[in-house]
Chain A
């Protein structure tokens, strides 16, 4: 089993772990962390595909590598937006929950703006 395949299997496992965390933990920030894990696991699999496309004197196929750089930057932007949403929900309601009725976290604070 070559190192590249081992990295690919690692990426598959991290993606599975991320999916489990996304489904199971009720806290939105933990879901965000797990979602990032799911994303970066799939990036590793794409990186394995890039590595296997080595040729013409390059160590890997450069097109997937460039797409991966774009993907990492865009996923950071999405994470920053998600964090801003979570913090705004916390400021507005005093708790962070995805339950429609507000759950046990909703405090008496009324939403502003």
Chain B
């Protein structure tokens, strides 16, 4: 067993163990911490699979944002955490048999994947220069399968509308989440003053560099959303009222820009979302910066939850 295989085995065993802990832990708070650790360890697997863009997305969104969201929820639900009745041993045995069968089926599928593997990499490489970007994953997201990315942003806004619709009727358009207060001289407030400028630069950089290196608009937007969340949690900023016009504009500018470029492609060019070859890179950049603003705002507001208060309590 050489070094790479041993390392892979070690990481895989660790990830499986942390996943088992997440399922088996009695306290939900501990399980949520396990899940966050699982997300971060999973990024190592993504790097091992030579998918660095996916590793960035998993670490930022899967591990970081989902972990923070679930931690806050687990804390709020802590009073009733213990009041639950587990199913009897017969049902648990049946579930274990079913899960083992599914896992075995998936493992058999992994072990019997076709060799040589079918791939679209040559097709992606063939037209890469026409798209104007060097990172093939960015080319797929923004050029080859741009419609998927457009619909993905619409899905994000729809999820946000779903979260908002859970507000009480008289709270529509109010501020989401509680008003956080932290010691202005404490460590949290210090970090919230120190990190956001750096974080915003890093987020925009990850977007900018995704043209030719691993990165991406979603990953950069997540970092910016996290910086906002940090400021809110330290009490240095307050969530805006959700009825504000500028907020609604911010949330829709991404999909609208994307749609405008798409319809422009339909009207002036060959098809919906067709980029004229000379303008491919600038158009992609315009779409991506609009995306950055919308996705950062949407992710931050998804974390904040439905509107629930009119002003500072």
Contact = CB atoms under 8 A, between A and B. Distances in A.
Interface in A75-100: 75-81, 83-88, 90, 94-97
A19 B15 contact: no
B271 to A, nearest CB: 19
Interface string B52-75: 011001100110011001100110
Nearest to B118: A53
A27 B138 CA distance: 39
Contacts of B137: 62, 65-66, 69
B121 A61 contact: yes
B207 interface: no
B16 A14 contact: yes
B302 A27 contact: no
Interface string A8-28: 111111111111110111110
Nearest to B221: A73
Contacts of A86: 73, 77
Nearest to A56: B125
B17 to A, nearest CB: 10
Nearest to A44: B45
A63 B145 contact: yes
Contacts of A6: 5, 8-9, 12
B166 A85 contact: yes
Contacts of A74: 152, 155-156
B110 A9 contact: yes
B240 interface: no
Interface string B2-18: 00110111011101100
B222 to A, nearest CB: 9
A54 B159 contact: no
**Interface extent on B, as a size class?**
35 or more
B42 A44 contact: yes
A55 B106 contact: no
B106 A45 contact: yes
B87 A24 contact: yes
A60 B49 contact: yes
A88 to B, nearest CB: 5
Nearest to A113: B168
Contact of A62 (B85, B139, B148, B302): B139
Interface stretch (B20-28, B197-205, B248-256, B272-280): B20-28
Given A6-B8, A15-B106, A62-B136, A80 B99 contact: no
Contacts of B125: 56-58
Nearest to A112: B168
A83 to B, nearest CB: 5
A27 B77 CA distance: 10
Interface string B144-188: 110011001001100110110011111000000000000000000
A12 B93 CA distance: 19
A46 B11 CA distance: 18
B194 interface: no
Given A6-B5, A45-B110, A50-B49, A77 B120 contact: no
18 contacts: A3-B7, A7-B49, A8-B110, A17-B103, A19-B102, A23-B98, A23-B99, A36-B62, A37-B23, A47-B51, A49-B117, A59-B51, A63-B120, A69-B54, A80-B159, A84-B306, A87-B76, A90-B76
Interface of B: 4-5, 7-9, 11-13, 15-16, 19-20, 22-23, 28, 31-32, 35, 38-39, 42, 45-46, 48-51, 53-54, 57-58, 61-62, 65-66, 69-70, 73-74, 76-77, 80-81, 83-87, 91-92, 95-96, 98-100, 102-104, 106-107, 109-111, 113, 117-122, 124-126, 136-137, 139-141, 144-145, 148-149, 152, 155-156, 159-160, 162-163, 166-170, 216, 218, 299, 302-303, 305-306
